[in-house]
Structure 1
């Protein structure tokens, strides 16, 4: 139990503290892990408050700049400035979202994956995105639904932005339940797949800031996947395109 609790702590700082029982050495180890959990949560909360303050303070000068830019008479130059400012505001919002992930508390509840995937895909399609839900698996898993929804939304947006479309499916076997978001774009060099999860990392030229990405979408998606109790990985799909897979271990 102590070993399992230590591993779980690396994925979820909001988990209940370890029970301090058993032999003296085990009790002391559990107490040390509980103290570390408390200190880590405090450090993350402090960091989030600082980032929130910075993001809030940046909004005011960015808004002033936006108002001043509107007075530029040259339409081409004005459009370039507006685009740059919109990109800066988007980065501020996503940076703050990334900082807030560790401090957001959400209860674990059973979720019907087919119903969730169907709803997300329908919302995306109604918004004009080429997104389809191709296969369900009739699985219900304990997870944090808002974290899972945010993860899947980011994966779908990333697939549409860089691959042109998104096909979403769910499969299960005796060992795991897998949610798959696939696009039909150019794919990614195998040695670059893991680097896509690094903050602000982009591939050129197909995955650059010019295409609208902030470089945080997949970073946030992986953090959200961890909070949802899943593992997120990327691979090149057979026949072309990129495949993002969320794996829930079968309970």
Structure 2
């Protein structure tokens, strides 16, 4: 049976209206509700379902971030993960952390923990990078299955249905592999109160990138963060002639 590593990221909750800081250095996060990245919830659920089908022997939830990241590890443990690893990165270092840094951390942990499968969300809803799974697979030289809407264990690997622009694509990968979860892969379960209480007995190991031999020094500098331009209100016109007149006034047609 496989040992599964699942990446979980703490992000500003999807229902919160994002606000840019007055000094334009980033997005306001103080005192704002955070939760597990929704695509990562789907990744955890898939790993738990694999364990229920006796396809996985252990699920390790990993989060890279400040102390509060342990909250999303606890959520993963309450959903059914067995133990957690918190890679402590905070302050300016975390603000400028890039997907490549996270990929190097996941790859190193996968080797240390001798896992057979890595599952992450296809992207995080804060930076929308959609890079971590692909780069982790490249660093490990493992096959990858991204945007998974269905994962089936077949032989020594997996048969994966993935969502692409033109429809659905079916591929086969060998194991070990790196997979990224798409929206329609499953519906994550809610963490029940007994399971939340039980997480207190499940271990969370705390390490630093330095412990893993990973350099997380900033490779970018944030120059400015700005709100998108406000869209002008539309107008309802009575007929086609009025529309043509309006377009002529705006210089859109001659």
TM-score under structure 2 normalisation? 0.20
By percentage of residues, which structure has more strand? 2
Structure with the largest fraction of helix:
1
TM-score, normalisation: structure 1: 0.20
